[in-house]
Amino acid sequence: MLSNVVLANTPQLFITFTYVFYNDMLTRMLMSHEYSQFARVRKTLRVSQPRGEQRSTYWLQLPYRYSIPLMLSMIVLHWLVSRSIFLVRITIYDDNGSPVPYRDINACGFSPLAILLAFCLSTLMIAVLVGLGRFRHTCAGIPAASSCSAAISAAVHPLDSEPDDAALLPLQYGVLPGTARHGAQYGRSTKIYDPGLSVRERVSFSSGRTTPLESGMVYR
């Protein structure tokens, strides 16, 4: 009986691990998308313990329009898998109505309909994730960072004039005003690296005024 119980519930374990990986991948994609929006609109930071104008993190790690369908899909998938392979125990009785323990039957049963529905739902969930992964960021002008702390740290080098409570205010990523100096740029028409062609400007998150990055420029 124990081996049949383990066999019937093993798929549930795989589904749990699949949910963790699915949630992690979707979280990274949406995190990268929200990060890229800082180059287009001024927004406050999203933190675990908000202060000032900061925003709190999502309750289920994801926006509700993603987390609620994902949770419902996983609940239905767990239920379908529990109906796909299940424990069957048959107790045999003698003519006097007494159970005959040594003739008990323990086995695993299966339902083709539940297996088919579970397969269709899991395929749909994979297709949705692949479809979301094919969308490009709607906002250019900021290096991709996702959850890489090194890339995020490189994007946060404000000027000394930045207020101390800048992290509590709405921020935007872009070129900081008044930071131009003699430097280098790739020529927009010739694509030839000319050290004296133009200027290099400084980019960072800032609570002050910023201007969008331009294609072909080299920034610091």
Model confidence over 37-48: pLDDT tens digits? 888 889 998 888
Q: Per residue in 93-124, pLDDT tens?
A: 888 888 887 788 888 899 999 999 999 999 99
* Residue-level length of the chain: 220
Among 23-37, 109-123, 141-155, 191-205, the minimum mean pLDDT is found in 191-205
* pLDDT above 70 for 180: no
CA distance 85 to 215: 57
Q: Per residue in 61-102, pLDDT tens?
A: 788 889 899 999 999 999 999 999 988 888 888 888 888 877
Place 57 in a pLDDT band, splitting at 50, 70 and 90: confident
Question: Which whole number is the average pLDDT over 134-156?
Answer: 80
What's the half-sphere exposure (Cβ side, CA atoms, 13 Å) at 34? 17
Contact status, residue 72 vs residue 128, Cβ threshold 8 Å: no
pLDDT computed for residue 76 by the predictor: 95
Among 15-19, 100-104, 127-131, 190-194, the minimum mean pLDDT is found in 190-194
Name residue 99's beta-bridge partners.
93
pLDDT computed for residue 185 by the predictor: 42
- Name residue, tokens 């201007």: 211
- Name residue, tokens 């994902």: 70
